[in-house]
Structure 1
Amino acid sequence: MSSRSSRKKDIPPVPDTTAIERAFIVSSSHLATPGNEDLSELEFALTVMNNAFQRWVQRCMAAVGLPELSVLDTLILHSINHRHRERSIPDLMFTLNLTERHPLNYSMKKLDELGLIERRKQGKEVFLHTTERGRQYCQDYARLRRVCLLELAPSDRKVGGVPISDVAKALRVLTGFYEQASRSAVSLQTDRSPTSG
């Protein structure tokens, strides 16, 4: 056998890059329904991004001096501080897309005990606003956000060639899809508990 033919056998085959280019990045292949793999890829991206976002919110608030606040606590504080106007509990639930009041009550109790918010009752309605201490923490958070996060944003305000505002609009539309799918799931729900016969 010639040395030339032995060298040819040692050369690895060229990978099929077209197959790689068509691959979808998903976390659960059983949910990547053929023809709808893009939605599974989006869901995986949302999961990873949501975890990164929550980690950022909590660490930013911890950095300004409130490590005891959860992500929901922090988002509620910012929402109450929005435009420096009083917010009602139904307004907060609607704005943050909360379906249960219990987590909101728990967060409000914590924010109240830390002296970050105050409540005002008018009839049966409760209105909330931030205290001077609460507003100061929100301002400190905003300053740190500018330094740590906003400086990373592209100057053309685009991600992958798409304006960030368009990404936000698309996510709001997708939120509606998932809301409708949730309602459909409830209507199709079956009892599969161990005690069901």
Structure 2
Amino acid sequence: MAEGPEHEEPLDRRWHLARTPHEVNVTELEFAVMRVGEAFARWQSECFAASSGFTATGSENALLHVVRLHERAKPLKELARLTNRDDIPNLQYALRKLVKLGLVKQTGGRSNAVYTVTDKGREVTDRYAALRAQLLVEVTQVVNGIDDRLLQATQTLNILSGIYEQGARVVSTHQRGG
């Protein structure tokens, strides 16, 4: 193998997190997921603002859509499970914000509260869906083989979600005292 800069790889794919090619691939996937997550949150926030005239985070927007899912009331515990979140105080804050905006209605007391989308929330989520269809769905449909690729990506991300959850449980269970 020839020595010298003209024969080196054009990109330095080394990471302090990775020692092997597999570890490099895992690390690069993690950073891609992070960038996609940030871009997705920005998209959700901007599309929500355009659809509603309100300011909300991407996770608040996602929560609104999950509340509307299947057009039935959901308790906080179910909303947390459906969004894979355990930060209950932040979920409660987001729900209070959505209630204050008139997009979600809370029924029941503190211990048995359930949440439903209001007519105003339904209008906003319908406008969001229309804008999403126009700006995202129409564009993605022209990508050759996109449906198979989306299905495979969804399955892979679901598998990785389980792996990361298991890793978090192990770390949480076996942390050494400080």
Normalised-by-shorter TM-score class? 0.7 to 0.9
Instruction: Name whichever of 121-130 and 170-179 sits farther off.
Output: 121-130
1:118 Cα offset (Å): 0.9
Q: Is there any run of 5+ residues in structure 2 with no aligned partner, and where?
A: none
Deviations along 1:32-76, one digit per CA (max 9) or x if unpaired, are 232421101111111111111111001111111344211121111
Structure-2 change in CA distance of 1:150 and 1:107 (3 Å): same
Aligned-residue Cα RMSD (Å) equals: 2.4
Partner of 1:90: 77
Query: Aligned to 2:96, which of 101, 109, 115?
Result: 109
Decide which moves more: 121-130 or 57-66: 121-130
CA contact (8 A) 2:40 2:58 kept: no
Question: Whole-Å Cα distance in 2 between the matches of residues 123 and 48 of structure 1?
Answer: 37
2:130 is matched with: 143
CA-to-aligned-CA distance 1:101-157 (integer Å, 9 cap, x gap): 101110111111111111122794211111100000000000110111112204345
* Counterparts of residues 12-23 of structure 1 (less than 5 Å): 15-16=6-7, 19-20=9-10
The answer to whether the 8 Å contact 1:60/1:141 transfers is: yes
Relative contact order: is structure 1 or structure 2 higher (C-alpha 8 Å, sep ≥ 6)? Answer: 2
Tell me the percent identity.
25
TM-score (norm 2): 0.87
Q: Hey, what's the Cα distance between the residues in 1 that align with 2:127 and 2:76? A: 25
User: 1:59–1:67: 8 Å Cα contact kept in structure 2?
Assistant: no
Q: 2:47 touches 2:132 (CA, 8 Å); kept in 1?
A: yes
Structure 1 runs of 4+ with >3 Å offset: 13-17, 154-157
Q: In structure 1, what is the equivalent of residue 35 of structure 2?
A: 48
Work out whether residues 58 and 67 of structure 1, in 8 Å CA contact, stay in contact via their aligned partners in 2: no
Match of 2:146 in 1: 158
Alignment of 1:28-67 (within 5 A): 29-34=15-20, 35-67=22-54
Give the letter for the 2:175 counterpart.
Q
Question: How far has the Cα of 1:190 moved from its partner?
Answer: 3.0
Secondary structure of 1:128's aligned partner: strand
Tell me how far apart the structure 2 counterparts of residues 49 and 62 of structure 1 sit (CA, whole Å): 20
* Structure whose CA Rg is larger: 1
Cα distance between partner residues in 1 of 2:146 and 2:5: 35
The whole-number CA distance in structure 1 between the counterparts of 2:36 and 2:120 is 30
Q: Which has the higher helix share?
A: 2
Q: 1:55 to 1:123 in 2, by over 3 A?
A: closer
Cα distance in 1 for partners of 2:164, 2:86 equals: 14
Q: Distance in 2 between matches of 1:56 and 1:123?
A: 32
CA distance in 2, matches of 1:64, 1:102: 27
Q: Which runs of 5+ in 1 are unaligned?
A: 1-12, 193-197
Match of 1:69 among 44, 48, 56: 56
